[in-house]
Structure formats: structure tokens, C-alpha cells
Amino acid sequence: MRYFFRRYTPHLRRALMVESGSRFVLEKFLASRDASLKPDLVTCYAGEPRGFSGDVFRVQDYTTPDTRAALLRELQNNRYDVIGILCTDEAIMTKWKWLLAARIPAKLFIINENADWFWVDYSHLGTIWHFFSFRAGMSGAGAVTTPLRLLLFPFTLLYLALFAIRVHIRRRLRES
């Protein structure tokens, strides 16, 4: 991830898309972009998105540590200007997307489930904070209930453990 502390917007000559969400979101995003942008794609799905014409790297083809390292080296050597990651609140390719975001030297942007997107840099910290707080359940009514649940969790766990111990002790006493 490059250019976090710069508001610099690179030229979109080479782009890498990480399809870690629903395919229709990527298709909607690509349809709204300039047709001259021909990104490469890292995906776990078969086939290609509608209107896509770049190189496709399927993660199921890279199952061993050596092949994964080779893929990472190849992607790093492609010198991408930007990397776009789908964050659609689905647990698809989670490890891959954050590995690629960390290891590919390119400006990062996030695409949400509405095919809206934003750059990941310091000037968008408010948007980034809102995005992650929404994903963590810390927005709206969840802003009150989630921290309260986190506070009460250890006490709830302690109560349940003590209850289970009590039940098992009473059962043993009745049996003897």
C-alpha cells in the first residue's frame, strides 16, 4: 500500500482488482469506469466478469506456498499504479485481499457493496472510520449496544461457567 500519507492520485495505466465479493458489484463498478481502463483481476470465481478484458489470476491455481510466492512476485513485478479491493461485507478471499493490499506497491482504493469507492489515504480518514465502524456494528444503534455487549461478555461467560460447574457438582452429589 503506497501513498497513504499523500493525496496523490496516480494515473490509471495499470490497475489490479481483487474480486473478494459478489461478482455483480465488480461488474457494476467496471461498467461505471472509463473503457480504457483494462485492469488485471485476482479472483476465486470461474469465468470472467462481463466486459472484462485483462489478465485473470485465480487463487485456486496457487495452492502451495511456492506458487503463492510466485504469484505475489509476479503481481509486484507488474508495477500496478492502483489496487482496488471489493469490501462487500462477505467473507470471500479475506486473507488474499489484505495480503495483496499490504504487499503490492500501489495506491489502494476500496469498493463497497454499492460499487461506490474511496481512496485509502489520510485525507479520507473520516470515510475510512465510518466504513469500518459500520462494518464493526458501531454505527447507529449499534454504537451503544456493541460496546455494552463487549463489556458484559466476560461476566456472561463467567456466569455460564459457574452455572455449568454448579450443575455438574450437584449431579455428582446426587449420584453418590
pLDDT tens string, the chain, 176 residues long: the values are 566 656 667 777 788 889 888 888 888 888 777 766 778 899 988 888 887 778 899 999 998 999 999 999 999 999 888 898 988 878 888 888 889 989 998 888 888 888 888 888 877 677 767 777 777 666 677 677 777 888 999 999 999 999 999 999 999 999 97
Helices (H), the chain: 23-32, 65-77, 94-103, 125-135, 142-175
Question: Residue 9: how many CB atoms within 10 A of its CB?
Answer: 13
Asked whether the beta carbons of 21 and 113 are under 8 A apart, the reply is yes
Determine the residue type at 134: F
The predicted pLDDT at position 3 comes to 62
The predicted pLDDT at position 6 comes to 63
pTM over cut 0.85: no
The predicted pLDDT at position 164 comes to 97
Closest CA to 43 of 35, 31, 55: 55
How many angstroms separate the Cα of 71 from the Cα of each of 21, 94, 99, 100, 108? 20, 17, 12, 10, 19
Asked whether the beta carbons of 22 and 113 are under 8 A apart, the reply is yes
